[in-house]
Amino acid sequence: MTLGQLGFFIGSSLLIIIAPGPDILFVLAQGMSRGKKAGFTAAAGLAAGNIIHTTAAALGIAALLAAWPPAFTAVKTAGVLYLLYLAWNAFRRRNDDSPAAAEGNDPNLFIRGFVMNILNPKVALFYLAFFPQFISADTAHPVIQTFLLGLLFMMLVLFVFGSVGFASGAIGGLLSRRPKIRKALNWANIFIFCALAVKLAL
């Protein structure tokens, strides 16, 4: 890959990552409702999920999802159910005004972001459509090149989502000093999870 091709890959990836979507809404929701630490942790989990999608693309599993509708539907259904599960957990914590909740001290937040990412079959199909455009046709090691591009993409995701999580956490931290606003942010969190589940289902 030439420097020009690498620059085009980075530029295209950044535009795709910045575009509004379920993942960035998830980071915003966590940052606004639970603080900077929660926003960045959620971003790190989502970024780490790209390791699975990179592996799937390199080994041809993403092609299976595209070619076999039942597999795609199964992964999508699991993703919808998981988002509804997150909405239920957020609903249970809707009135939690404890300092731990406000500061986002949730050890499972990274795992939630990770699982949410890997259960989105559209991300797998994105890898299948986007990455081959940057794989050299005459390369002797396409799998290695796919993993290197996936690692670079994951770092870009962490940079962008981490920045969004940190910024939204800073804003949310100022707003959540008032209990009423904190509860409103908690309800917004619930709504976002439900909306993402509906969007993925449809």
Q: What is the pLDDT of residues 123-171, one digit of tens each?
A: 887 887 787 778 776 666 778 888 888 999 999 999 999 999 999 888 8
Residue 162: name the closest of 14, 51, 24 by CA: 24
Give me the number of domains the chain comprises.
1
Query: Which of 58 and 110 is assigned the larger pLDDT?
Result: 110
Q: What is the pLDDT of residues 37-75, one digit of tens each?
A: 889 999 999 999 999 988 888 887 777 777 778 877 888
Residue 79 lies in a domain: yes
Query: Which of 103 and 67 is assigned the larger pLDDT?
Result: 67
Residue 80 lies in a domain: yes
Per-residue model confidence (pLDDT) at position 46: 94
Residue 52 lies in a domain: yes
Residue 106, domain extent: 45-201
Task: Kindly compute the dihedral angle of the four CA atoms of residues 43, 191, 188, 109, in this order, to the nearest 10 degrees.
Answer: -30
Residue 17 lies in a domain: no
Query: Which of 186 and 120 is assigned the larger pLDDT?
Result: 120
Per-residue model confidence (pLDDT) at position 41: 93
pLDDT band, residue 20 (cuts 50/70/90): confident
Residue 2 lies in a domain: no
Residue 105 lies in a domain: yes
pLDDT beyond 70 at 103: no
Average pLDDT over all residues of the chain:
81
Q: Residue 74: CB partners within 8 Å, gap ≥ 6? A: none
